[in-house]
């Protein structure tokens, strides 16, 4: 089974090729079978591979498959191969299973779209590129998958390109992440020139042997790779593209935010964990970036009225938790929260899409309300995802995955009380904006009557993801609640464990209790402000300070305006100024000369046969005369 590893990314790629080549001539049912079937087969193969990997682990708990030598330039000879260990196995399972459910949902959601086959072709390419990224055995192949998900995000965010706003959102995402991609590419050059290889395992081994902790090269390489990670994962200071990415269809939002793209940076840092332990200053920067991002995004989510943009800021915030975990060395906790986040965030986006399908594409939560009784299935599944996002204690996956991050922020050697307080404040904000979203959308007076009901292909993914958003958390339970460590044990072969050096394990129940109280306090505050005493929220938002903060947070803390003044406007000014440089005049002159010759010769094309005959005769006379003169004057 492990020998068939290459088929997992190959199947979505095959679906992409089939759809892009002949999809426009196929019936929609056949298109759906190809798109969903290819990803579904990849999911089945992933599950079978995981079962084999766990039941009969390969030597060293690693399966390495080399397909061919890719490039041979002197000592630079990267192969094209796949590397499967417990870390990549978790990502492969999430990408294929959640990706399959999103594809299944899309069968009904996109059924009336004119570009049905093009949509699924892009989605399959997205899944295939992400699988290539997480399975690559060297950084060059990883970078190929990295760029693949980047171009797919551009194509899918701007999928409805006839609306100029969607095109601008796609360009913004592409250009913003391009800054990070450039830093990542530079980091690859630093690593290769310093260590002589881009093979991940060989590179990490050589880095350990040749670079002491805190060395300049280790810090530079780790910082450059971090630049790439913050771009793809929408962390400070490159987080601005993600809220505008909501311009794409809702299944695209679910795929980007749950299973692909935004988690690429998390995977990169986790995969290169040895490099970050050699650069402790950069690892600390990862934690600081994470905690600042989760707070900034949390405040912005409090001010949004668009349900999809609330979820977008929520994604930025939750990825901030993953960066916080990575930064304090809680590698296993980061991957566990990635797993639960993929389930509940995909559920919430698909739930938002189901609402939009039923109420004329309405996204403004203040124009909804009362949908709890009108869309009961959507409500209960959405509530399961919201409870997990808010980390409702003891019954949701989010509680069991988020609290280990807060514990690590408090007790790990790289952690500290400020990081813990930041994470705790983020948990409070999360519960407030999450249940603000729930109360505004599903409670109160109904302002929209559903025009239709969700069908089978929308309901099934919602139900499955709702169940996962609850039960997945029980694969890792604290010692005081049962001591289950399935995910930590599984990941122990590929990621280092964490040493809670600053405190004893007796503190964990206390910290979890504080986090639970904070979560419930946030839910209660949201209930008071948006159900019981909504006039309080109105007065607060209309006060001088409240209005100023609301506007500032709603504008994303002014990052777009700042970047517009620092980068966009100067670039546009230079481009306009440079329009009249002398180099352009050379090429304009060549063009004008070509146009002049065209006008002269076009005068000869009159359509008058007599003139053509006269021209032929004159040409023949001139030719004969030249030949006679040449013969007469020949020496």
Where residue 355 falls among pLDDT bands split at 50, 70, 90? very high
The tens digit of pLDDT for each residue in 99-123 reads 999 999 999 999 988 899 999 999 9
pTM attached to this predicted model: 0.90
CB atoms < 10 A from the CB of 634, how many? 6
Give yes or no for a contact between 465 and 251, defined as CB atoms under 8 angstroms apart. Answer: no
Sign of CA dihedral 476, 478, 482, 488: positive
DSSP 596-613: HHHHHHHTT----HHHHH
The tens digit of pLDDT for each residue in 164-189 reads 999 999 999 999 999 999 999 999 99
Structure confidence at residue 472 (pLDDT)? 93
Examine the pLDDT at 633 and tell me if it is beyond 70: no
Measure the CA–CA gap between 123 and 36, rounded to whole angstroms.
10
Structure confidence at residue 536 (pLDDT)? 79
Query: Where does 245-279 have alpha helices with state H?
Result: 250-254, 264-271, 273-277
Q: H helices then E strands: how many in the chain? A: 28, 4
Tokens read off for 166: 């969607």
Give the distance between the most distant pair of CA atoms in the chain.
116
What mean pLDDT is reported for the chain?
90
CA distances from residue 526 to 359, 443, 485, 537 in whole angstroms, order as listed: 24, 12, 34, 10
Structure confidence at residue 122 (pLDDT)? 95
Domain boundaries, the chain: 1-188+223-266, 285-542
DSSP letter, residue 213: T
The tens digit of pLDDT for each residue in 245-296 reads 998 899 999 998 877 789 999 999 999 999 999 999 999 999 999 999 999 9
Structure confidence at residue 500 (pLDDT)? 64
The tens digit of pLDDT for each residue in 1-13 reads 677 899 999 999 9
Closest CA to 143 of 92, 86, 88, 181: 181
Structure confidence at residue 538 (pLDDT)? 79
Examine the pLDDT at 213 and tell me if it is beyond 80: yes
The tens digit of pLDDT for each residue in 472-518 reads 999 989 888 888 889 999 999 999 987 665 665 678 889 999 999 99
Residues 6+ apart with CB under 8 A from 297: 239, 313, 314, 316, 317, 320
The tens digit of pLDDT for each residue in 50-79 reads 999 999 999 889 999 888 888 888 778 888
Structure confidence at residue 503 (pLDDT)? 61
Helix (H) or strand (E) holding 247: none
Examine the pLDDT at 409 and tell me if it is beyond 90: yes
The tens digit of pLDDT for each residue in 394-403 reads 999 999 999 9
DSSP letter, residue 256: I
Angle at the Cα of 340 from the Cα atoms of 460 and 322, rounded to 5 degrees: 145
Examine the pLDDT at 210 and tell me if it is beyond 80: yes
Structure confidence at residue 25 (pLDDT)? 85
Where residue 605 falls among pLDDT bands split at 50, 70, 90? confident
């Amino acid at each position: 089974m492990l020998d068939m590893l290459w088929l997992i990314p190959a199947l979505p790629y095959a679906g992409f090729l089939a759809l892009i080549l002949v999809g426009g001539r196929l019936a929609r049912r056949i298109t759906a079978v190809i798109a969903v079937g290819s990803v579904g087969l990849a999911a089945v193969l992933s599950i079978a591979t995981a079962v084999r990997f766990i039941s009969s682990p390969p030597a060293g708990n690693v399966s390495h498959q080399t397909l061919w030598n890719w490039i041979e330039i002197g000592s630079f000879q990267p192969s094209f191969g796949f590397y499967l260990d417990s870390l990549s196995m978790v990502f492969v399972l999430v990408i294929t299973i959640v990706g399959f459910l999103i594809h299944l949902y899309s069968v009904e959601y996109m059924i009336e779209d004119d570009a049905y086959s093009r949509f699924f072709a892009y989605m399959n390419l997205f899944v295939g590129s992400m699988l290539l990224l997480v399975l690559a055995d060297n950084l060059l192949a990883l970078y190929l998958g990295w760029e693949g998900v980047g171009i797919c995000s551009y194509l899918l965010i701007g999928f409805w390109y006839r609306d100029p706003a969607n095109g601008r959102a796609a360009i913004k995402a592409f250009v913003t992440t391009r800054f990070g991609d450039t830093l990542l590419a530079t980091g690859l050059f630093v690593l290769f020139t310093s260590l002589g290889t881009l093979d991940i395992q060989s590179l990490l081994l050589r880095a350990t042997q040749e670079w002491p902790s805190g060395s300049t090269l280790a810090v530079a390489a780790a910082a450059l790779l971090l630049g790439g990670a913050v771009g793809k994962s929408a962390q400070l200071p490159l987080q601005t593209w993600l809220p505008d990415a909501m311009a794409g269809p809702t299944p695209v939002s679910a795929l980007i935010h749950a299973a692909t793209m935004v988690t690429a940076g998390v995977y990169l840092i986790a995969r290169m964990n040895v490099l970050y332990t050699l650069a402790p200053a950069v690892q600390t920067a990862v934690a600081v970036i994470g905690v600042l991002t989760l707070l900034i995004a949390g405040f912005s989510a409090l001010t949004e009225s668009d349900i999809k943009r609330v979820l977008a800021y929520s994604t930025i915030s939750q990825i901030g938790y993953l960066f916080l975990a990575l930064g304090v060395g809680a590698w296993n906790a980061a991957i566990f929260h990635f797993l639960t986040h993929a389930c509940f965030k995909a559920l919430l986006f698909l739930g938002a899409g189901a609402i939009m399908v039923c109420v004329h594409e309405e996204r403004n939560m203040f124009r909804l309300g009362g949908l709890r009784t009108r869309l009961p299935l959507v409500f209960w599944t959405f509530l399961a995802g919201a409870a997990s996002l808010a980390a409702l204690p003891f019954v949701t996956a989010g509680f069991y995955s988020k609290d280990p991050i807060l514990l690590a922020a408090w007790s790990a050697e790289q952690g500290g009380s400020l990081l813990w307080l930041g994470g705790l404040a983020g948990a409070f904000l999360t519960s407030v904006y999450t249940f603000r979203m729930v109360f505004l959308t599903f409670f109160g007076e109904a302002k929209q009557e559903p025009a239709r009901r969700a069908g089978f292909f929308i309901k099934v993914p919602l139900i499955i993801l709702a169940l996962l958003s609850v039960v997945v958390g029980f694969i890792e339970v604290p010692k005081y609640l049962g001591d289950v460590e399935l995910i930590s044990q599984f990941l122990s072969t590929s990621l280092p464990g964490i040493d809670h050096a600053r405190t004893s394990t007796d503190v964990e129940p206390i910290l979890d209790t504080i986090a639970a109280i904070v979560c419930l306090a946030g839910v209660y505050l949201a209930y008071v402000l948006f159900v019981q005493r909504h006039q309080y929220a109105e007065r607060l938002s209309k006060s001088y300070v409240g209005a100023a903060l609301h506007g500032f947070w709603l504008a994303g803390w002014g990052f777009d305006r700042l970047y517009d003044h620092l980068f966009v406007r100067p670039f546009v000014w230079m481009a306009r100024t440079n329009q009249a440089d002398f180099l352009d005049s050379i090429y304009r002159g060549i063009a004008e000369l070509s146009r002049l010759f065209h006008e002269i010769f076009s005068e000869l094309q009159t359509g008058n046969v007599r003139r053509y005959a006269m021209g032929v005769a004159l040409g023949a006379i001139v030719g004969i005369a030249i030949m006679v003169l040449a013969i007469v004057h020949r020496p």
